[in-house]
Amino acid sequence: MTQATPAPIYKISLLTGIAIVVANMVGTGVFTSLGFQVVDIQGGFALLMLWVVGGVIALCGALSYGELAAAMPRSGGEYHYLSRIYHPAVGFLSGWVSATVGFAAPTALAAMALGRYAQSVWPGLSPLWLSVGVVLGLAVVHSTSRRAGSRLQLLVTSVKVLVLAGLIGVGLLVATPQPISFVPHVVADWQQLVSPAFAVSLVYVSYAYSGWNAAVYLTGEVAEPQRNLPRILVLGTGLVLLVYVGLNFVFLYSTPLAKISGQLEVGFVVATALFGPVAGRVMGGAIAVLLVSTVSSMLFAGPRIVQVMGEDLPVLRPLAQLSPAGIPVRATMFQTALTLLFVFTGTFEQILLYAGFVLSLFTFLTVLGLFVLRFRQPELPRPYRTWGYPLTPLLFLLLNGWTLRFIAQSKPHETLYGLATLAIGLLLYLAGQRLFRQPSPASRS
């Protein structure tokens, strides 16, 4: 009797990969952070340069990650890279932070923002239960079919980009220009770029750009990863850079700074100023739809970290199990449970504050690992080499290191909480190593 040929496992395409990167990046940050920036920075040039500098940091990081992803094509992102470059303990700590805070908390934040924006259109809705319903619904889709999840991701991200492009284009046409200059006229305009206020705002902008490395968590599921993954990272990040600069230009060009200053729902305020109260409510609904894409992409990418950690660490082995369709269902359920915990407790915003330092620390170590790997393993096949090396990774390290230093100085409590999280993760790693006495994952190819 002939055996049935198993159905081929669906692979993530170039377009879907770009959609995942764009969806991870374009979330709550771009619709909320400008209001806080305007409080301390009043110059149009400095405000717009915030988004340019943040985009350059992300793009340099994406170029650097592209080489690592092509040279070590396995899902898991920083967990896999840092385990091989430095030590399995460093990789475990990175995965521990990403799995417990780095994806679940931002997913909850996006879901709760979705609920609040939707309530501006339909006041009778419960933001909490809408958030919960969206998270559960998307978790079911991504746990059932990779093809369906990929198509959904591509669809909602396409809608997101079209809506934002439409807002930029229509906003430029109907806006009443504000008395703000985007060209530096005096030395003080340039001095703002090195001011403490600029550094504070860059922390918020960096959060808005976070997610540029999302595709590396799915490396094992990407079609032709050596060829496609660098293109996914660079094209996705570059597209978001253009969208962010264009969107914030429209925000500043069309709306008085006094109306934006201190406001959380910047998109709603700008849409109301441009089109009136009715259109402002419609835009609130549109942004809620856009945030569906963000929640979806994080529920798609995050569980792959837990899955790969489970493949290496026996204590997490149950979470590495794949469904017949090759989907990490248990890891998806684990992240979904964490996300809902943050949604119900409402404490995730505090967690994001201290997690920002730790997550930036691991991206710093990963890009630094590009130099370490070239020195230690010059013979390692590299289908893609970082464009502009060594300047692009050095620029990333310089700017990211400056941000890390500022966070450590200005937010010592959050920094200490982040280091405490790492200490807990290290204890778990050591306990697992002693309990199972397993081979090091760094020794695996």
DSSP letter for each residue of 145-193: -HHHHHHHHHHHHHHHHHHHHHHHHHHHHH----S---S--SHHHHHGG
10 Å Cβ neighbour count for 389? Answer: 15
At 220, is the pLDDT very low, low, confident or very high (cuts 50, 70, 90)? Answer: low
User: Does the pLDDT at position 2 exceed 50?
Assistant: no
Write down the pLDDT at residue 217: 67
Write down the pLDDT at residue 394: 96
**Crossing angle between the packed helical segments 348-376 and 412-436, to the nearest 10 degrees:** 60
Peptide bond preceding 390 in cis form (omega within 30 of 0):
yes
Contact of 397 with 367, CB cutoff 8 Å: yes
Write the burial class of residue 228 (CB in 10 Å: 0-12 exposed, 13-18 middle, 19+ buried). buried
- CA dist 288 and 265 (Å) reads 12
User: Does the pLDDT at position 395 exceed 90?
Assistant: yes
**Residue 258 token pair:** 């006094």
Closest CA to 119 of 276, 287, 242, 250: 287
Write down the pLDDT at residue 352: 61
- Greater confidence (51 vs 216) lies with 51
**Residue 299 token pair:** 């529920």
Kindly report the average pLDDT of the chain as a whole number.
Answer: 80
- Greater confidence (214 vs 178) lies with 178
Closest CA to 12 of 193, 293, 214, 252: 214
- Weakest-pLDDT range from 216-225, 235-244, 309-318, 383-392: 216-225
Q: What integer is the mean pLDDT of 366-375?
A: 94
Contact of 314 with 436, CB cutoff 8 Å: yes
- CA dist 439 and 444 (Å) reads 9
At 374, is the pLDDT very low, low, confident or very high (cuts 50, 70, 90)? Answer: very high
Write down the pLDDT at residue 7: 46
10 Å Cβ neighbour count for 195? Answer: 14
Which of the residue ranges 22-31, 280-289, 386-395 has the most confident prediction, judged by mean pLDDT? 386-395
Write down the pLDDT at residue 218: 65
- CA dist 209 and 227 (Å) reads 24
Write down the pLDDT at residue 123: 79
Quick one: what percent of the chain has pLDDT higher than 90?
Answer: 7
Q: What residue spans define the domains of the chain? A: 14-435
Q: What integer is the mean pLDDT of 112-139?
A: 83
User: Does the pLDDT at position 5 exceed 50?
Assistant: no
Write down the pLDDT at residue 1: 45
Which residues share a beta bridge with 12?
Answer: 222
Write down the pLDDT at residue 355: 67
Largest CA distance in the chain: 83
User: Does the pLDDT at position 92 exceed 70?
Assistant: yes
At 373, is the pLDDT very low, low, confident or very high (cuts 50, 70, 90)? Answer: very high
Return all residues near 138 (Cβ < 8 A) that are at least 6 apart.
152, 292, 295, 296, 299
Write down the pLDDT at residue 9: 58
10 Å Cβ neighbour count for 375? Answer: 8
Contact of 386 with 357, CB cutoff 8 Å: no
Quick one: what percent of the chain has pLDDT higher than 70?
Answer: 88
- CA dist 397 and 3 (Å) reads 54
The class level of CATH for 14-435 reads mainly alpha
Write the burial class of residue 379 (CB in 10 Å: 0-12 exposed, 13-18 middle, 19+ buried). exposed
Token match 């992803």: residue? 69
At 285, is the pLDDT very low, low, confident or very high (cuts 50, 70, 90)? Answer: confident
